[in-house]
Amino acid sequence: MTRLLTSVSAQTSAELHDCIYRAFSVGAECVELRLDHLTEDVTPETLAGMLAELAPGTWVVTLRSAKEGGGAGASDGERLTWLHATGGGLGGWLDFEHRALSDQACAAAWEELRAAGLDRWILSYHDFSGRPTEVGSIAREIASAGDEVVSKVAWRGEGASDNLLAFELMRALGDRVIAVVMGEVGMASRVLAKKFGAAATYCALSEGGETAPGQPTLEEMLHRYRWGDLTAATKWYGVLGAPVSHSLSPALFNRIFDRAGIDAVYLPMLVGGGEAELVEFLGQCAQRPWLDVGGFSVTIPHKSAARRFVGSRIEPLAARIGAVNTLVMGDGHLHGYNTDYAGALDALCVGLGCERVDLRGLPVDVLGAGGVARAVVAGLNDCGCAVTVYRREADAAAAAELVDELGGQVALWEDLPRRSGRAVVNCTPLGMSPQVEDSPLPCDGLTDKPLVFDMVYNPVETRLLRDARAAGCPTVDGVDMFVRQAAAQYRLWFGDPPDVASMRSVVLEALGG
């Protein structure tokens, strides 16, 4: 069984006691007590009394050295003695650094403590500079020390593929190892530890209380990532991008998976090393069917790189757009799709009360010429709409290229007050938080009461939409677009259509609306 360790630290024993019981009240399975952050003069006997109140097997006690990311300044031998005097013989786990055992006297003292056979040990190895060259050998060497010893290796992640190395160690050593990729890039190594049968993984009691880089909170692990429901068969989905911490997709998909009873988890996957890192990660995923990758969402800045990665395994319209935002695993390969255009068309049809076939000949004004506009214009032209792209001076070249490749005509931004399309689609970030009073379209461009569709979803009601409603225009907000492109991804992954209304409620909740 993989233990979810909630790491707690405090400056006083009273605060530590409070943290322990707060963790268990929230739903923690096990706690790690970081004693190296205590600043008061407290005895091992006092702490041992605190540990004796806890059930055996539900705690780990750690006195981490400063050189391995902790706060304890005592010698290795002193720390070992203090650690054992605190938690020895009480039925928990004692965490001590593997490097300290290179000292002959310290190693002899540890072996003497082990000889009593009363304790279980976690021998830890940390590297905050990056991935150790021989991390696999280190993990195996520690695990070979005996049945009562668990190997813990933790290193600063250098790329998304570090997670796959951690999974390889978990598969090889099972409950004899804890393998942690530190930092935001390592979220998968923490959440999927249960899938791959590791001894444990770590989380923080609350936001701001992390004892190592990249720890999710206990609340996130239990509820967003559904720790209690993860199994060896859990399918892996996620969003690949940089940044991804702001993404609403993990909150959305994990809630929908839960409601649909799907054994799957959706993770934010930071891929910050450009196209080379993306290609390495996706290639390694495709070569490892045991990962149970179902698919990925792809966001900025990797949509074009994902299109190049899939090559000919791509839907025709996504190939024309030149961008992939959805990857689906099939036959040992990742296949590319674009649901941005599908989400936009579906949202537009709902707003107009029509089907896609009814869009033929509809004049539509598209504001902007970036990546989002490219997907929208491709979809509109595929449906036979008459598209006009309004571009700013800086977008002249992009707009010309867009209509040359996908169809339509270009108009100047200054001509917006004289626009005449039956629908207006804002594909610019104007009006996005925190510049919430910005709008791409002056009110005198709304006198003919077109349908106004704003791709911005934060805030949900933008200045453009407020002005449009005041002018009597029908409107479609960016949440609808976001939800419908996500619904299209869900259909690609699972075949069945999701409950769009339920998805919208989840997104609005995440946005605080």
Exposed, middle or buried, 357 (CB in 10 Å: 0-12/13-18/19+)?
exposed
Q: How many CB atoms lie within 10 A of CB 266?
A: 29
| List of E strands, 242-385 | 264-270, 293-298, 326-330, 333-337, 363-367
Q: Position of tokens 């039956």?
A: 422
Q: Position of tokens 């994902």?
A: 306
Active site residue 195: no
- Cis peptide leading into 243, omega within 30 of 0? yes
Helix, strand and coil content of the chain, in percent to the nearest 5, comes to 45, 20, 35
HSE of 3 in the Cβ direction (CA atoms, 13 Å)? 21
Rounded Cα gap, residues 150 and 124, in angstroms? 9
Q: What is the gyration radius of the CA atoms in the chain, in angstroms?
A: 27
Determine how β-strand 59-62 pairs with β-strand 93-97.
Answer: parallel
Closest by alpha carbon to 329, among 357, 289, 274, 359? 289
HSE of 223 in the Cβ direction (CA atoms, 13 Å)? 7
- Residue type, position 364, single letter: V
Q: Which residues of 102-134 are buried (b: 16+ CB within 10 A; e: fewer)?
A: eeeebeebbeebeeeeebbbbbbbbbeeebeee
Closest by alpha carbon to 62, among 28, 40, 38? 38
Residue 115 has which token pair? 């000889």
Query: Which one is catalytic: 194, 195, 303, 449?
Result: 303
Helix ranges restricted to H, 117-161:
135-143
Query: Any idea how long the chain is?
Result: 513
Rounded Cα gap, residues 330 and 426, in angstroms? 35
Looking at residue 217, the DSSP 8-state letter turns out to be B
Helix (H) / strand (E) containing 394: none
Among all residues, which ones are annotated catalytic? 303
